[in-house]
Amino acid sequence: MTGPLPDIEIYLQRAAPRDIVSWLKKHFEIMETVSQGDSHTLTLAYEGKSLECVIVEKAAKGGYVSVWFKKNETPWSSDEECASEAFTVLGVESRCSVGGWKPGADDDSGGWYRFTDEGRSVVNWLT
């Protein structure tokens, strides 16, 4: 694959939204935050461009929080780069798809990078 992915999505285990927002502030200007229940939509600015980031608490079994940048106007060219940095900064297990998502893909059949203290590994989502 060449060039950045069109969007970025990662999953963080038991990460507090306030900690995620603190991490995001290192890269983005936060223009607006709208929270509705367990979902938080942030309007961000990066290098003069605007984008939305959606943080969804309890997005997946095991206490995973989804962090989805709707378009990739980010400092990362891939989900893997973003998840790796999130693990380093936040110190919580981070996951992302090994490849870009494709319509009709079975997301819990495997093919996920997991970042932990032991390093990066490829796992089935249920691992």
Q: Tell me the per-residue pLDDT of 46-91, one tens digit each, with 9 for 90 and over.
A: 999 999 999 999 999 999 999 999 999 999 999 999 999 999 999 9
- Tell whether 55 is covered by a domain: yes
pLDDT value of position 126: 73
Residue 118 sits in a domain whose CATH number is 3.30.310
- Tell whether 84 is covered by a domain: yes
- Tell whether 1 is covered by a domain: no
Global pTM exceeds 0.85: yes
**Residue 5 reports pLDDT greater than 80:** no
- Tell whether 2 is covered by a domain: no
Closest CA to 18 of 73, 55, 64: 55
Domain carrying residue 89: 8-103+110-123
Structure tokens at 85: 């940095």
- Tell me the pLDDT tens digit for each residue of 95-122: 999 976 554 455 545 589 999 999 999 9
How far is the C-alpha of 67 from the C-alpha of 56, rounded, in Å?
7
Q: How many domains does the chain have?
A: 1
- Tell whether 18 is covered by a domain: yes
pLDDT value of position 99: 76
